[in-house]
Structure 1
Amino acid sequence: MTILVAGGDSAIGRAVAAELERRGCAVAATSRRAGRHPSLDLAKPPTTWEVPDASAALVAAGIGSLAGCEADEALARAVNVTAVAALARRVPFVLVLSTTQVFAGDRPHYPADAPVCPANAYGRVKAEAERVALAAGGAVLRLGKVLSPHLPLVQDFVATLRAGGTVEAFADMVLAPVTLDQVAALAADILVGRLSGIHQLSGDQDITYADMARLMAESVGSGQVRETSASERVPAHFIQAHATLAATGGRTAPSSVEAVRMVLAQTLSLPGE
């Protein structure tokens, strides 16, 4: 079985490709960078894509930032929706990564079958991409905040705390974090099993960014945390009161607190840390 990973040089793309290879799958990981093959840039015409024969594909590429989608929603739609539809016509099963932002975030533990109600361009575009994947018989994986040792936010918090400095973190903006390893394992399950429909993975509870920073400070044993307000720096329609999703497929939502601790331990064990 060959599985295509579009965006194979992204953090999630690399992690899923590695997990699939660990399970014995053949993986074709694409890149949009010059000189890398197979080449696949969702912003370019499908005639330029190098798409090998594959039984399934993960879309881990595209415009993935709230600000990027807000700046040019039409471009974001072309890359994240129209291009995904073109890929779905060439690969039998497509898994699209999505987000809690397809919901307004006004209540916790949104069920998978709840009507989408995005409050910003990023959520609107992702909701459209979901419809494309599902209409083609594929799958959607909605995710809470994905933490990894190489995430700049994590690295910045840890470096500041270890130096005895003060981390400024939002006390009015929440996340329901999961680890990159947890995402890779579930995405691989979906791709190998071709499990169509909507899947959801988030932490079991909302925590603020200040809560996360305090957990890190406790484990590091140094540094301080100063609470700040997201409303002073972040557009209101980006801020959700809740970021948790109801677990799907009979799974239990992983612990938000343990996700932070696991990623912190991985970060502290990196060479040079």
Structure 2
Amino acid sequence: MRWLVTGAGGMLGQDLCAVLATSGASFEAATRAELDITSPSAVRDAVAGVDVVLNAAAWTDVDGAETAEDAALRINDASALAEVAGKRLVHFSTDYVFDGSVSSPYPEDTPQAPINAYGRTKAAGERAVLAAGGYVVRTAWLYGAHGPNFVKTMLRLAGERDTLDVVDDQVGPPTWSYALAEQAVALARSGAAPGAYHGTAAGSTTWFGLARAVFELSGLDPERVRPTTSDKFVRPARRPAYSVLGHDRWAGTGVDPLPSWRPMLRAFLQQ
């Protein structure tokens, strides 16, 4: 199999490349500067002869999308890739396609209901990919070794501040990007039916709970982390209050759902 990783310079893109390299796969890595995924002609050239496209290219500035939705949509709608790659495409999406108003994990077939501009652009991407017969892998609360993310921010702030106030009224599944990359590559190799899958850790916590776990597992005093509420940190884009995703569709694919978030976090921090 020959693979193409788009968005190869990002957090998830770098982990996808690492997973493929470790397995000895033949792949090409294209960063945003190297491949314009909004250009049909550039996409056709890049995808020629490729068996699987792993699309990690995305506009990820959630707040910035509120004032630049058209620009975010051009990147996140994935129409050019979907048209050319079709069922060869594995496209990464987000919990932000849902409104966060529930209190139990979202099944994979839940209707979209985004509450911000970023979510609307990612929802458009999902529709294009699913209409073309490809795979959508939704994830949430992603962290990893590359690029900025919540876990790395907590570790940095631990060295700069005596205490941290972290919101305790948003619930989600902290997910290690490398584990997601392994799962996505396994899905592409499995021959499982195309459609939507949820690539998130099992279980859930709040941002406050995650911050305390980062401190505890790093040998720091978790009491330095204090709970607060979202209204103390007003952001341009509304955030879903509940971002836990169900994993029923993995049954029968031969690919395991991701493990619980806390052991996954421990494994990341031990690296």
Tell me the TM-score range normalised by the shorter chain: 0.7 to 0.9
- Where does the alignment leave 5 or more consecutive residues of structure 2 unmatched? none
SS in 2 for 1:40: coil
Counterparts of 2:25 and 2:220, CA distance in 1: 43
SS in 1 for 2:150: helix
User: Number of matched residues?
Assistant: 258
- Please give the per-residue CA displacement for 1:98-136, whole angstroms capped at 9, x wherever unaligned: 011111112221000111111111111111111111111
Q: Relative to structure 1, is the Cα distance of residues 16 and 164 closer, same or farther in structure 2, using a 3 angstrom cutoff?
A: same
**Identical-pair percentage:** 29
SS in 1 for 2:158: helix
User: Are positions 1:146 and 2:142 aligned together?
Assistant: yes
Q: Relative to structure 1, is the Cα distance of residues 46 and 265 closer, same or farther in structure 2, using a 3 angstrom cutoff?
A: same
Counterparts of 1:160 and 1:265, CA distance in 2: 19
Counterparts of 2:126 and 2:62, CA distance in 1: 17
- Where does the alignment leave 5 or more consecutive residues of structure 1 unmatched? 34-38, 267-273
Counterparts of 2:32 and 2:95, CA distance in 1: 26
2:94 aligns with one of 99, 107, 129 = 99
Cα drift, residue 242 of structure 1: 1.5
Cα drift, residue 161 of structure 1: 3.2
Aligned to 2:118: 122
Aligned to 1:217: 215
Aligned to 1:270: none
Contact 2:63 2:235 in 1 (8 A): no
User: Are positions 1:169 and 2:173 aligned together?
Assistant: no
Q: Relative to structure 1, is the Cα distance of residues 122 and 8 closer, same or farther in structure 2, using a 3 angstrom cutoff?
A: same
Aligned to 1:245: 245
Moved more, 154-163 or 255-264: 154-163
1:255 aligns with one of 248, 254, 260 = 260
Contact 1:7 1:13 in 2 (8 A): yes
Counterparts of 2:99 and 2:138, CA distance in 1: 14
Contact 1:66 1:238 in 2 (8 A): no
Whichever residue aligns with residue 117 of structure 1, its letter is: A
1:134 aligns with one of 119, 130, 136 = 130
Q: Relative to structure 1, is the Cα distance of residues 221 and 8 closer, same or farther in structure 2, using a 3 angstrom cutoff?
A: closer
Q: Relative to structure 1, is the Cα distance of residues 122 and 72 closer, same or farther in structure 2, using a 3 angstrom cutoff?
A: same
TM-score using structure 1 length: 0.85
SS in 1 for 2:108: coil
- Please give the per-residue CA displacement for 1:35-74, whole angstroms capped at 9, x wherever unaligned: xxxx20235x334555142112111112122113222111
1:1-273 mapped onto 2 (5 Å cutoff): 1-33=1-33, 39-42=34-37, 45-48=39-42, 51=46, 52-81=48-77, 84-92=78-86, 93-107=88-102, 108-150=104-146, 151-161=148-158, 165-193=162-190, 195=192, 196-223=194-221, 224-235=224-235, 238-247=238-247, 248-250=249-251, 251-266=256-271
Contact 2:3 2:26 in 1 (8 A): yes
Counterparts of 1:77 and 1:216, CA distance in 2: 34
Cα drift, residue 15 of structure 1: 0.8
Contact 2:199 2:257 in 1 (8 A): no
Contact 1:100 1:144 in 2 (8 A): yes
Cα drift, residue 174 of structure 1: 2.6
